[in-house]
Structure 1
């Protein structure tokens, strides 16, 4: 038996809280259910324009989990999810995603929704085959595939070579403020430019090769429905982060992702299908927390957007993506000139960014609480791992680490 408290090292939380993760997942489900009532959303069974069978690759946290929740609990879809999690035992905690998936499956069952989650390496052909076999066993074809994988490593299924991604600038060293979200301390952090195979390796991991392979194999197995859509998620962000992100190694991978979206889109035309990259809003994630400049920028952004009433977390963002982009009344998907869905429109609103520009130079350790939403940053950072979640008694002793009820 133990009372679990967050263990934090350099903007990384290295443990998780089972009950907190479960409650956060339930809170997101409650939001989707409330939005269904508020918007009057109709499921396919109710005669609405909605997905029926959804595959979510990277389903356990962040945008992937929120997408699965929106699809299931607002739109009534049956779902198959894939993520690679460390499973809990009675005495050892699992990863946050392990508890999120467990909770999602339990709540889906209660709601009468079909739900199957695979704890497998989504980059492997074995995983693809397991998903195909499950689809055929259920007698379904996917009408929506969400690709939301984020991993530092990927093993090529053909060569068995493992590639590692890096977050580095290209051409010159990047220097920026590293804001400690728990203490408000600001250090100056330098990141050396990419060298050797850093760029191609990062593209191998974070680019669109694996997404394209998934769609190809699903199509060949005849488990894609007529009119199927597939989405992968990306980020552009503000000028401050471009040197380390959009113009860096990760940016090269995202450009590859966007290029391959066009290939996938072409391959789906015979099924009347389409492929999109959705550019989403910046949020606190396990990776963004350790990138220089990002934490400070998000702190400033959150404060401004909350004051305007336009701030969104994962579930709010994905619910709006489904309702106002994917499943619109006229059945058309609004896109930009590059065929990308822009759900980062509120973040990159020129008026919002103008306020960000005014605030950013003024952030110091003395003024950080004035210009940054430190409370919001800390909350989001902790919540990813099941801490600081409304409705959870953190003084309660946990007897079994592999249970959530």
Structure 2
């Protein structure tokens, strides 16, 4: 037993510890939201042997977590959740994703969903071996859906051993943008930062980490082992974003990687159609506060202003992924744009919303930011990534931090 009081200690947007009970409460809230959205008519407890078999790669955080929870609560998926998280130690709590996975596993078990949780590096062939073994031994050797949601700073190519590191840089010229930071007392500071342009090597390395290479390796491996069911469908999660952040995001190194991901989707879609009558798409999600997005210059400011403009009309990730599951499973038609992308971001990129956010962006400075952006919501969202600011949690009480990884593998 290792109960202790866990206080939020952070360096900027990065917190040093995570709160197990807070993570559990937040996952429970996501589950309820997914189950209560219009169109969800799944029984409260489905038999473990029913439901489509799904693999969610990147199941513990951000949109991958939303895909996992929405799939379990709304569709009744069974299958595998794969992520890479750190266990609790004597000095540190486990990562938030460790505790979120434990909470998701408990909810899945209570609802009768048969899920296996693997803690492994998705880029490695060892992880692919584990998944293939579980599919054969536990789920009849057939996979219906694969959701790919991986945001990582580095990747080692299993074929060559080459190590790649992603960077956040504009392409072609330096870029100066507004960004938002908070000091140690939580006081917001709107400042300008300049980022130098990417080199050709920067672009190549980022594409090798965040592009479609690993997604394609997963499909190659599972198809080669005969594990794809007829009609198998796969979706990789991506983001386009606002013109306000395009220079550092969509037109930058990360955007080059996303373009590669989308090109990979078109290639896979053609192959899967011929192989199993299947589909491959990218799902363009809308803005959200995630551990990955807060590292990108300008994104924190943009997201706070977007919430200031929309308030409760901002669509949370679990609602977006519930819509994706509805389309993937045929509950509603699967609609894609000319590039083969499911667009879950159109509400964010409407002319009306972007015009309002652009006006707020132009006026944003230290004297006006509290009126233009919903900073209370934004800071709470950052805290919730680590299990803090959750409802009905007494953060002054000791909590058990030594939570085991879910069994069942």
The verdict on a shared fold, with TM-score over 0.5 as the criterion, is: yes
Q: How far apart, in 2, do the equivalents of 1:21 and 1:258 lie?
A: 32
The offset of 1:15, in angstroms, is: 2.1
Q: How far apart, in 1, do the equivalents of 2:64 and 2:287 lie?
A: 14
**Structure 1, unaligned runs of 5 or more:** none
| Structural mapping, 1:365-376, within 5 Å | 365-376=366-377
Q: How far apart, in 2, do the equivalents of 1:170 and 1:105 lie?
A: 42
Residue in structure 2 matched with residue 212 of structure 1 by the alignment = 216
Q: How far apart, in 1, do the equivalents of 2:127 and 2:17 lie?
A: 27
Residue in structure 1 matched with residue 297 of structure 2 by the alignment = 292
Q: How far apart, in 1, do the equivalents of 2:51 and 2:231 lie?
A: 10
User: What value does the CA root-mean-square deviation take over the aligned residues?
Assistant: 2.0
For residues 5-26 of structure 1, the C-alpha deviation after alignment (integer angstroms, 9 at most, x for no partner) is 2222132223211111111111
Structure 1 residues 51 and 230: CA distance shift in structure 2, 3 A: farther
Instruction: Count residues with an aligned counterpart.
Output: 395
Q: How far apart, in 1, do the equivalents of 2:198 and 2:266 lie?
A: 27
Following TM superposition, where does structure 1 have runs of at least 4 consecutive aligned residues deviating by more than 4 angstroms? none
Q: Would the aligned equivalents of 1:235 and 1:281 in 2 still touch at CA under 8 Å?
A: yes
For residues 134-158 of structure 1, the C-alpha deviation after alignment (integer angstroms, 9 at most, x for no partner) is 0000114111100001110101001
Q: How far apart, in 2, do the equivalents of 1:153 and 1:63 lie?
A: 19
Residue in structure 2 matched with residue 246 of structure 1 by the alignment = 250
Residue in structure 2 matched with residue 170 of structure 1 by the alignment = 171
Q: How far apart, in 2, do the equivalents of 1:144 and 1:40 lie?
A: 19
Q: Would the aligned equivalents of 1:310 and 1:346 in 2 still touch at CA under 8 Å?
A: no
Q: Secondary structure at the match of 2:4?
A: coil
The offset of 1:248, in angstroms, is: 0.5
Q: Secondary structure at the match of 1:317?
A: helix
Q: How far apart, in 2, do the equivalents of 1:193 and 1:127 lie?
A: 35
The offset of 1:250, in angstroms, is: 0.4
Q: Would the aligned equivalents of 1:18 and 1:403 in 2 still touch at CA under 8 Å?
A: no
Deviates more, 1:394-403 or 1:198-207: 394-403
Q: How far apart, in 2, do the equivalents of 1:86 and 1:199 lie?
A: 29
The offset of 1:380, in angstroms, is: 0.9
**Structure 2, unaligned runs of 5 or more:** none
Residue in structure 1 matched with residue 241 of structure 2 by the alignment = 237
Deviates more, 1:254-263 or 1:194-203: 194-203
The offset of 1:403, in angstroms, is: 6.3
Q: Secondary structure at the match of 1:118?
A: strand
Residue in structure 2 matched with residue 34 of structure 1 by the alignment = 36
Q: How far apart, in 2, do the equivalents of 1:31 and 1:79 lie?
A: 21
The offset of 1:40, in angstroms, is: 4.3
Deviates more, 1:258-267 or 1:309-318: 309-318
Match of 1:314 among 289, 303, 317: 317
Residue in structure 2 matched with residue 228 of structure 1 by the alignment = 232
Residue in structure 2 matched with residue 53 of structure 1 by the alignment = 53
Residue in structure 1 matched with residue 284 of structure 2 by the alignment = 279
Residue in structure 1 matched with residue 137 of structure 2 by the alignment = 137
The offset of 1:175, in angstroms, is: 1.1
Q: How far apart, in 1, do the equivalents of 2:404 and 2:124 lie?
A: 29
The offset of 1:33, in angstroms, is: 2.3
Q: Would the aligned equivalents of 1:51 and 1:77 in 2 still touch at CA under 8 Å?
A: yes
